[in-house]
Amino acid sequence: MDCRTSLKTGADITSAMRAHRVADAISAGVELGVFDALAAGGMSAAQTARKIKCSARGCEILMNALAAVGLLRKKADAFSLTPLAKKHLMSGSPATMARMISHSTNTRRTWIDLQEAVKTGRPIPKTPERMKKSRERQQDDFILAMRDMSRGPAVDLAAALDLSRVENVLDVGGGPGSFLFAMIRRKPSIRGVIFDLPQTISIADRLITQEGFSDSVGTMSGDYNVDDFGDGLFDLVLMSSIIHINSPAQNRKLIKKGFRALRPGGSLVVRDFMLDDTKTAPVDSALFSVNMLVNTEGGASYSTSEIRSWFAGAGFERVRYFELPQRADICVGFRPAAKKSANPKKKR
């Protein structure tokens, strides 16, 4: 079922309730290494099971299901990858979605107890069962998933912005740096800083080197809800996909810090999953708000009116909203330009 449309029939409800089965099968295939195991060519379920150290029975049932949904081909007893699986489910593919799927799997485990989050208004507790994966692996999954998911949106954002007067950029909560990298590819003279938590910065440093941006991108470790960004240092401050983690009070403070970090005439760009004023559309953003309920203390998807009010409260002018082609949209506001001082009167 397409989550961008509303439910209209009993059949739609049935389809929605069963949608997790395909998602779980794909997750299992990625997590167990089924798609990578078949990269070199076709194998039987028994051969695959030996390679990925799983039971032959379980592997055959899973692989039959993956063939049923069009991700594997089966000829006699041999399974092989379809073009779609080769492109998006092998970990080494340039268009891989494997990390995004792993991250989605991590978050989906909390949704099963959504009723508890609704009762308490608090995120689902991180029990030992839910913490089977190490925190480091989960963070790695998350940051690299953001990299894979943001390739197209980063190009769209860079194309939508006027970068003609931008030379210095601060990417707050920038994670893998995809949006900053896209700006530099569009305007190579730009220099930037990624600001994020220490564990994330260790991943960002690695990606900066891999992507060839060591001469133009630096990093700064810190907590954007605690630490300052400096005063008047940047032409553009980007906050992409971070305000949904915060409460409204935290966002008001965060946007004020972004204002202080800008030079006069500089711009703050907030990119996120925004809602209309009813907070019931678009559907993706309303459902994403539920994800914030089960995973954060005070986060949510916010309406464009709420975000505009935070900009105005911080002192921004010319605040504008832009729709982008892929999922998230942006609000842009400008710090007022410095006023020119009047010429002093000449003494006679």
- Contact, 14 vs 21, CB < 8 A? no
What is the Cα–Cα distance from 324 to 115, expressed in whole angstroms? Answer: 33
Identical fold for domains 10-91 and 137-334, yes or no, is no
pLDDT the model gives residue 235? 98
Task: Average the pLDDT over 309-331 and give the result.
Answer: 92
pLDDT in tens, 258-314: 999 999 999 999 999 999 998 988 888 888 898 888 888 899 999 999 999 999 999
pLDDT the model gives residue 136? 60
> What mean pLDDT value characterizes the chain?
88
CATH class of 137-334: alpha beta
Which has more confidence, 337 or 328?
337
- Contact, 147 vs 174, CB < 8 A? no
What is the Cα–Cα distance from 241 to 199, expressed in whole angstroms? Answer: 18
| Helix, strand or coil, per DSSP, at residue 267 | strand
Which has more confidence, 127 or 186?
186
Q: What percent of the chain has pLDDT over 70?
A: 92
Instruction: Check whether 334 has a pLDDT greater than 80.
Output: yes
Task: Average the pLDDT over 325-347 and give the result.
Answer: 76
The domain spans of the chain are 10-91, 137-334
Q: Which two tokens stand for residue 129?
A: 């069962």
pLDDT the model gives residue 39? 92
The model's confidence at residue 24, banded by pLDDT at 50, 70 and 90, is confident
With a CB cutoff of 8 Å and minimum separation 6, the contacts of 122 are 297
Q: Is the full-model pTM beyond 0.75?
A: no
Residue type at 66 in one-letter notation: L
| Helix, strand or coil, per DSSP, at residue 28 | helix
Instruction: Check whether 210 has a pLDDT greater than 50.
Output: yes
What is the Cα–Cα distance from 151 to 181, expressed in whole angstroms? Answer: 10
pLDDT in tens, 49-92: 999 999 888 889 899 889 989 999 999 999 999 999 999 999 88
pLDDT in tens, 119-163: 898 887 766 555 455 556 667 777 777 777 777 889 999 999 999
Token match 């960004």: residue? 229
CATH class of 10-91: mainly alpha
pLDDT the model gives residue 340? 64
